[in-house]
Structure 1
C-alpha cells in the first residue's frame, strides 16, 4: 500500500515538474549534492524517484520566488525534498478563535525605530522535527527570553514537551497556540527541558515529576500595527503567527510581501529589529541549519507574511 501511495504521489508531482521545467538537468546535479550534504538515505528506488521529482519542483519554485524578491536567496535547504503537505505538518499554528476577555493590549507606539536585539537573551535555536509543535516552541522561546530579562535570572531552557503534552486544550503535533502555554504556566510552573525531554510527539502529561522552575503572570496582545510591535519589543521577544508557506527554500536575505503568503499557519518569535535594513529578525524552530542560523528577516512596515495576525508576549509583573 505504501508503494502504491508513493507512486500516485510521484505521478502528481511529476506532472507538476514537467509543467515547470521539462528540460532541466542542473537540478539533478544539485539533488545529488543535496543527498550527500544532508546524508539522505531513501529506502527504495521508488522513494528516490519521488524525492527527486519533489526536489526539482521545489527548486523551480525557489527560482520563481527569487524573481519575485531579489532581496532574498532561495534554493537548497534541508527541506528541499519535502512536499507541501510535509511542510504543512511543521506549521502547527491553530488559532482557537477564543481568548479570555480580560487580556490587555499593548498599544504604545514607538516614535523612532531604534535598533533592538534580544538574541543574546535567548537559548539556542531548537528543532521541532516533523511534529506541528511550532506553537509550543514559539511560546517557550518568548517565555525564556522575557523571564531572563524581567526576572534578571540565569538563562534557563524550558520544556517544549511539557507545553505539547500538558496544554490540554491544544492538539499536540496537530497544532496549537502560544496563549495556551502561557495560561498553563501562570497556574503551574514551567519545567526545565533537562527534566522533561523533547520527543517530537505528544504523550501523557508528566509535569508532576519534572523539575519546576518558573511562572508567568499571563500575557498581553499587541495592537495590530508594527510601531506598537516595535515598542513592545523594547521589553523582550514577541510571539507571532505568520504565513510560512514560502519559507522551506529560504537561505537568507530579506523576505518582502511579494514572496510571502497572506494566510496563517506557523508560530515563531521576533527577537530583533534592525534599523539599517528595516527588518524584523525572526527566530524559527526548524534547526540552526535553516535560513540565517535558524532565523529569517522580514521587511518591516509591510505586514510581511501576515506577521500582524496576533502578536503577543508573556508577562512577569
Structure 2
C-alpha cells in the first residue's frame, strides 16, 4: 500500500545507525533532531505537509513526541505506529535489513555512537576551550539521553517580551554563587532519566529568588515533583497563584514517570509563591540586566552529543549531532571571556560539579528566557491632594498622596511636576524621598499644573503612578455668549422662525421666546447663570443647558445675563429686546 500510494510517507525517527540496521520498506530516515530544529521543519518537512505522514520509533515513545510536535506545527495528517518497530516485528511484517538492502547511501551522522576520543579530537582541532571526559551521563544509551531532555515548547508558556529596565552600570563579571562573598544559589540536583529538566531549571531559579527576597540564603528546597505532577496549565502562572511546597512534602524519585499528585495534605500552607515573572529578550545585554536585577534565569538551549562528555571549561559545540532541547538556569556571566555560568540538573558527577560555562550564543542558549521575582511591586500612588482635576487650588498648596508596599518594604518616591502639558520623565523635581508630601513652592494663578509619582522599593522594583492635574486660583472672568435672541434679528413662533432686520441695535420678538445662553470657564468652571429682565432676576440656572422660556407683554426690555464661576468671578452681557404680543 505504501509503495503504491504517493500520498503516504513513512518517517523512521530513530538514529541513522538503527535505520541502516533495519527499517520498514520505503521509510525515510528522519532522526528526532530534525523535528527539534525549527529551520528544519520549514526547509525539509514543509514539502510533506499535504502528505499522510506515518511515524515510527523502536517502541513508539519517541514517535508520539514527534506526533505532538508536527500537530502543533500545523500538520494535519499525522499517524504514529502504536508500539513502534517492536510491534511491527511482532506482527511478522517485513523489514529491510542491512544485508538485504540495495541502498548504498550513507546516512550516518554524529549522534548515538560518538566516542570520547572523537570529542577530544574535535576539541583539539577546533581549539575549543573545554575538556571532555567520562561523566555520569556519557555512557547512557541514545534513547536514555533523549529521555533526559525534551521538547521545551511543550512546557514553556508564551509571554510578552518586554525591555528590561536597570539603573546603573552592569559589572563585567557576575555570579549569584558569590555576590560579595555570599552564595545565594541552592545545591545541584539530579533529575535522573526523566525529561523533567524544565522543572529543575524553574525550581533552581525560584529557590534563589526566594533567598534574595528573604534577605539571606537559608537553604530553600522546593518540590520539583509537585511542579511536575500537580501543576496544571501555565507553569509560571501556577507558581504565582499557588506556589510550591518544600521537597519533603512531595519528594522527587528519579526514574519514576507518570506519578499521581501525591503531595502532602498541608502543602498550601507550606508553599512559597513568586510575585511576578516575565520574558527576557534574546540578547546578551537584556539577559545580563535581568540576571543581575532579578536572580537566576530559566532558559533553554540545544544539546549536542559532545555535551554529555563535558568536564569543565567554556563549552562550545565541537562535534556530534543535535540530540534535543534542554532547560537550565543561568546564574552568572563573564564579559571578558564571553560566557554564561549555568546550573544543570545532571548531578555533581557531570561538568564542573554540576555547573557549566558556555559561550554566548552557543547552542542557541537564551532563546526562551524567563525571570522570576518573589518581590511585589510597590502600591500604585493614589489619593492625590489636590485631587485630579481640582480647580481654584490655593497657590500655596502642598502636594500629597497615599503609597505603600505589599511586602512592607521601604518605598522611595520620585516626584514629577510641571506647569502645562506635556509632563515627561525629565520633569523630576524630587528624587527618592521617603515621605508622601511635596512642597512645590508658590504657584502661579490661573495656571494648570501636571504631576505624577513613581514609587520604588528597596529591591529596585517600581510602580509608575497616573498623571494628575489641577488648576490654581481663578482670577479671570468666565466667558459668555447670548445665543438667542441676538441683536439685528426678529423671532416668532417661539423663536423657531428667524429673520434679519435692518436695525442692529436691538432684537424683535413676536410672541414668546426661549432665551439661550452659552457660558464656560477653563479654570474653576461655571457655577451659575442668572437672567435678569429690566434688573429683575427671573431665574438662576446651575447646569447646562442654560435656557429659559420668556413670556411677557408688549414693550421694550433690557435683558441682562450674569455668569459666575466657582471662584465668584463674573461676566455680564446685555441686549435690548422689543416684544410684541397681540
With normalisation by structure 1, the TM-score equals 0.72
Deviation at 1:306, TM superposition (A): 0.6
Q: Counterpart of 1:193?
A: 247
What SS is found at the alignment partner of 1:313? strand
Work out the number of aligned pairs and report it: 257
- Residue 345 of structure 2 is matched in structure 1 by 285
Query: How many angstroms apart in 2 are the aligned matches of 1:116 and 1:280?
Result: 10
Give 1:64 deviation, angstroms: 4.1
**Residues 1:83 and 1:61: Cα distance change in structure 2 (over 3 Å):** farther
- Aligned partner (choices 106, 115, 118) of residue 173 of structure 2: 115
The aligned runs of 1:1-317 (5 Å cut-off) are 57-66=114-123, 67-96=125-154, 99=157, 103=160, 105-108=162-165, 112-119=170-177, 120-152=183-215, 154-169=218-233, 180-200=234-254, 201-207=257-263, 209-211=265-267, 212-235=270-293, 236-245=295-304, 246-256=306-316, 258=318, 265-300=325-360, 303-316=361-374, 317=376
- Name the CA shift for 1:261/1:306 in 2 (closer, same or farther; >3 Å): farther
SS in 2 for 1:248: helix
More moved, 57-66 vs 191-200: 57-66
Mapped partners of 1:168, 1:58: distance in 2: 40
Any idea what SS the aligned residue of 2:154 has?
coil
- In the alignment, is the contact (CA less than 8 A) between 2:119 and 2:318 conserved in 1? no
| 8 Å contact from structure 2 (residues 128, 316) kept in 1 | no
Could you tell me whether the CA contact under 8 Å between 2:312 and 2:351 is conserved in 1? yes
CA distance in structure 1 between the aligned counterparts of 2:112 and 2:155, rounded to whole angstroms = 36
Q: 1:269 to 1:58 in 2, by over 3 A?
A: same
Task: Look up the SS of the partner of 2:203 in the other structure.
Answer: helix
Provide the secondary structure at the position in 2 that maps to 1:253: strand
Q: Aligned in 2, Cα 1:100/1:63: closer, same or farther, shift over 3 Å?
A: closer
How far apart, CA to CA, are the structure 1 residues paired with 2:112 and 2:244?
Answer: 40
- Do the aligned partners of residues 98 and 70 (structure 1) sit closer, same or farther apart at CA in structure 2, a change above 3 Å counting? closer
Q: Over residues 187-234 of structure 1, what are the superposed CA-to-partner deviations in whole Å (9 max), with x where a residue is unaligned?
A: 113110022111133311134525423111231110110111011111
1:274 Cα deviation (Å)?
2.6
Give the distance between the partners of 1:209 and 1:69, measured in 2 at CA: 55
Q: How far apart, CA to CA, are the structure 2 residues paired with 1:283 and 1:260? A: 22
Q: Greater helix share, 1 or 2?
A: 1
The separation in 2 between residues aligned to 1:239 and 1:256, in whole angstroms, is 20
What is the rounded CA distance, in whole Å, between the counterparts of 2:173 and 2:251 in structure 1? Answer: 35
Which residue pairs with 1:44 in the alignment? none
Q: Which has the larger radius of gyration?
A: 2
- Structure number with the bigger relative contact order (C-alpha 8 A, sep ≥ 6) is 1
C-alpha RMSD over aligned residues: 3.0
Cα deviation, residue 258, structure 1: 5.0
Paired with 1:137 and 1:268, the residues of 2 have a C-alpha distance of 8
Task: Return closer, same or farther for 1:143/1:184 CA change in 2, 3 Å cut-off.
Answer: same
Report how far residue 122 of structure 1 moved: 1.3
For 2:265 and 2:235, locate their aligned partners in 1 and report how far apart those are by CA, in whole Å: 18
TM-score where L is the length of structure 2: 0.40
CA contact (8 A) 1:74 1:250 kept: yes
| CA apart distance, 1:276 | 4.5
1:57-78, CA deviations, whole angstroms, 9 ceiling, x for partnerless residues? Answer: 4224323441334311112112
**Structure having the larger proportion of residues in strand:** 2
Q: Secondary structure at the match of 2:271?
A: strand
Structure 1 residues 305 and 113, CA, compared in 2 at 3 Å: closer, same or farther? farther
Separation of aligned partners in 1, 2:142 and 2:341: 25
Contact 1:222–1:232 (Cα < 8 Å) also in 2: yes
- For structure 2, the residue ranges without an aligned partner over 5 or more in a row are 1-16, 22-110, 178-182, 377-582
